[in-house]
Structure 1
Amino acid sequence: MSFIAMNRFKITPGREEDFEEIWRNRESRLKELSGFVEFRMLKGPVAEDHALYSSFTLWNSKADFENWTTSEQFRDSHKNAGNRDRSIFAGPPQFEGFETIIHEA
């Protein structure tokens, strides 16, 4: 069954456009990986202290996702993460992984 990998990001109020621009301009190499199905960046509710975003990546299997996390493409796409303006973030990203148990289309 498929696997969904999500990262939740809490973004400092007023910095939403900066965060979105990082993702629009990133070098994505996901399509190079076997088992990659789709990527989405989702914008969620806005609270007083943050705006919530979530990256959503669909994989054919958990093994395909795990292969991504150890790949050259993963290292390349995350190489500049430590150089970003940390004030954009109202906290660290939170990873959530889900295995599909029921799917209806």
Structure 2
Amino acid sequence: MYVVMNELHVPPERKAVLTERFRQSAERMAEVPGCLEFLFLSNIEETGKQIVFTKWASKQDYENWLSSPAFANAHSGKPKQEKPAASANELFAYEVAHHFCKGD
């Protein structure tokens, strides 16, 4: 398994816009081959940070998604005059060494 977390730095006034965009993304991610889980997290202590958490069957599945039309469509989206919702981001990727889930 492979996990990718994208930490987004979001001005408070853009948080609702970004949350709605990722609600729509969550629905689309259910159809992406190899995507096992998608979470959009709001930090309760640092209100300017939100995390996109994705879990993949393999690193290759994640890389396939990055080069897919679905990824391009998801990231092409907003009209040019619209202000970006996130001001910056940091990407973190991990191979899963150990895993437990009650549903497994």
TM-score normalised per structure 1 = 0.78
Q: Which residue of 2 aligns with 1:61?
A: 58
SS of residue matched to 2:3: strand
For 1:44-100, what per-residue CA distance to the aligned partner results, in whole angstroms no more than 9, with x for missing partners? 1444xx5210001111111111111011111111111574413x43x3111111110
| Pair 1:71 & 2:77 matched | no
Q: Which residue of 1 aligns with 2:37?
A: 38
Q: How far 1:14 moved relative to its partner?
A: 3.0
Q: Which residue of 2 aligns with 1:29?
A: 28
SS of residue matched to 1:74: helix
SS of residue matched to 2:88: coil
Q: How far apart, CA to CA, are the structure 1 residues paired with 2:33 and 2:10?
A: 31
Q: How many residues align?
A: 100
1:104 to 71, 80, 100: 100
Structure 2: unaligned runs, 5 residues or longer:
none
Change in CA separation of 1:28 and 1:75 when aligned onto 2, cut-off 3 Å: farther
Moved over 3 A (4+): 25-29, 81-84
Question: What RMSD, in angstroms, separates the aligned Cα atoms of the two structures?
Answer: 2.2
Structure 1: unaligned runs, 5 residues or longer:
none
Q: How far 1:25 moved relative to its partner?
A: 3.8
Equivalent AA in structure 1 for residue 71 of structure 2: F
SS of residue matched to 1:19: helix
TM-score normalised per structure 2 = 0.79
Residues 43-54 of structure 1 correspond to what in structure 2 (within 5 A)? 43-47=42-46, 51-54=48-51
